[in-house]
Every structure is written in C-alpha cells, then in structure tokens.
Amino acid sequence: MAEGAKVNSLDALKHFKTYLWKFSEAANLALADAESEMQRMLLWLETEQGAYWQGQIRKRTEILSRANELLRYKQIYKSPTGSRQSTIEEEKAVQIAKRRLLEAQEKVQNVVKSSRRLTKEIQTYKGSVQRFATSAQLDVPVAAAKLDNMVATLEAYMSLGATGGSSTDAASSGGAFTRAELPEDRPVEPPPPDEIPIRGAVPEEAATLTDLALRSIQTWRYSPEETELWRPPLIVREDYIATSPVFVTERDGRIIGFYGLSGSPPHVRLAYLYVDPDKVRLGLGTALWHHAIQTASQLGYAELQLTSDPNAEAFFIKLGARRFAKTASPLEGQELPVLRFPLASDK
C-alpha cells in the first residue's frame, strides 16, 4: 500500500456515513416529489383543463349569443315614448362576452400547446437529472460501504491492541492510523482495488452491456448456436438499469466488466457479473464481486443468490459462495448451479 490512512476520529467517519444516507434519502424524495408535480400538472392539463375550457367555450358562446340578441332587440324596437333606445349597455355586454369567448378559445389552444411542451420538457428534465439520481441512488451506498470498510479495518486494528486500547477514536490513543501497519493475516475483508474504478451504469449503456455479456460467455467456448440460446437471459434492458443497481468498470473509456442486482428483501440476486473475455485474470471479476457484496449489504439484503455458469462456479466458490440448488439451463442437458452468499446487512 503506497500511503497509510490518517484518521483521527472514527466517530466522525461514522457520522458522515449516517449523513450520507440521510442525504441520499432526502435527494431521492426531492427528485420523486418534483417529478410527481410535473406528472400531476400534465394530468391536470390533459384531463381537467382541456375539458374545463371546452365547457367554457360552450357557455360563453351562449352568453355572447344572448348578448347579441338583446342588442338586436334594442336596435329594432323603439321605447314606449317612440324614441330610439340606448344600446350602450348592450354593446358593452357584447364586447365583454366576445372577449371572454376569445379568452376561452385561447386557453384551449394553450392547454394543447402546453401539454405537448410539458411532455417534452419532462423528458429533457429526466435526462438532466439522471446522473444525479443515479449518484444519489447507487453511488451513495457504495461510498458509504467504502467508509464502513475503512472503519471496520481501523476498528479491527484497534481491537488487536496495537494502540493499547479499545476506543474507536484514534485521537484518544494519541495518533493517526496507518493501514500499512496492519498485520497481513488479520481477518478483515479487503476493499476492492482502488485501481479498478467502478461506477453506476446508465440506461443508454444497455446494448453495450448485453454485448459484453454475450462476448463474455465465449470464454466457455459455446458454439454460435449455443450462444444464441443464452441470449434471452443475458439481455440487459434500459429500464432494468434505470431501476436497479448496475455498475460497470471501464478502461480507456470502454466498459470491460459489469454487474447488476435484482430482487426484493431479504434476498438479492446477482443477475449479471460479466467481464470482457480479453480482460480476464486482471482482478476485475473479484473487484466487481466485492463491490456487489458491499452494495447489497448497504441496501439491507440478508443474502445474495446467483445462478452461475457451471464453468464459473469455482470462481464464486473461491469467493465464499456456496451451492444450495440446481436449475435448468437454456442449453439442453446442462444444469446450472444456484449459489448463495450470506451478507452482513448494516442498514
């Protein structure tokens, strides 16, 4: 490790992690409420206001018609004294009725135009906030997991008695921690290598991820026909990425591995974990696995389950997963191992 960690208070890290979660919740709520108001406005336009102003056109047309009749009556008939009647009031009423009818007609046009405009604006808005929404929804759990990992590492170091105390506050022992000083055999899960950057996927990457998954299974030397049979369960949909934790790792701007989770508590399924066939044995699969475990733990799941390719089972077993069932494969005569991995949920 190139440089040690310098932490003077583990409590500060723990508090910040707690606030990160609060921030994530507040951000998600704010985004959801904002979008909800937009949708309500669209519904208001398309249902209530359209009908309301159409009704107003009918009513105001009748009022104008009546006002015109009154005016005509006054113009035709003379007063009981035989003189010409004043039509000033009736003319005013006709002008007002015309203005009100015109207003209703303009409102109907406004409703139609506004409805179209709002639909487009909502789409643009969604695109603009997508990155932040992904960050608040997916990156925050990962960041919190990293902080947790660091706190766990430092606490484990403290429990070894290296500083002669059990306080989680390094300041109380009078110094900073150095991760490089940790004994090599201490039983703390290592964090994913920092050299392997992992970020949340965006829906536009769905086709790239499907392609990567299909290329990845070529490692197992499936024939083109067999690969086609595998295609349906390997398709990554845009809506799946938009609503589920999906993370990618990339190099030189090219995605070279990814994983995706799905399911509902208490079990989460590792729906995908694929690495570019040209980039195997570089630790990408292991880094993605650790990242998936951290994410699932942070999201409060108790157990991670996965259906593995038979050729990849040994990899997952090495990482601590255990087989507990078998399931049918898209290929005739092949069975797929179903594995599970217990999670230490901390949510």
Binding residues (CB under 8 A) for another protein: these are 2-9, 12-13, 15-16, 19-20, 22-23, 26-27, 29-31, 33-34, 36-38, 41, 45, 49, 53, 107, 110-111, 114, 117-118, 121-122, 124-125, 128-129, 131-133, 135-136, 139-140, 143, 146-147, 150, 171, 194, 197
Sheet of 335-342, strand order: 198-200, 246-251, 254-262, 267-275, 303-307, 335-342, 322-328
CA 7 to CA 247: how far, in whole Å? 29
Residue (137 or 308) nearer to another protein, CB? 137
Tokens 């703390």 map to which residue?
A: 188
Which is nearer to another protein, 129 or 229 (by Cβ)?
A: 129
Least gap, CB of 50 to another protein (angstroms): 9
* Closer Cβ to another protein, 135 or 307, answer by number: 135
CB 270 within 8 A of CB 305: yes
Nearer to another protein, 29 or 102 (CB): 29
Neighbours of 301 (CB within 10 A): 22
Specify the residue, 193 or 330, whose C-beta has the smaller distance to another protein. Answer: 193
φ, ψ dihedrals at 56, nearest 5°: -65, -35
- Six-digit token string for 206: 């769905």
Helix (H, G, I), strand (E, B) or coil at 260: strand
Least separation in angstroms between residue 19's CB and another protein is 5
Task: In angstroms, give the least distance from the CB of 173 to another protein.
Answer: 14
Q: Shortest Cβ distance from residue 165 to another protein (Å)?
A: 17
Shortest distance in whole angstroms from residue 57 CB to another protein: 14
How many CB atoms sit inside 10 A of residue 212's CB? Answer: 23
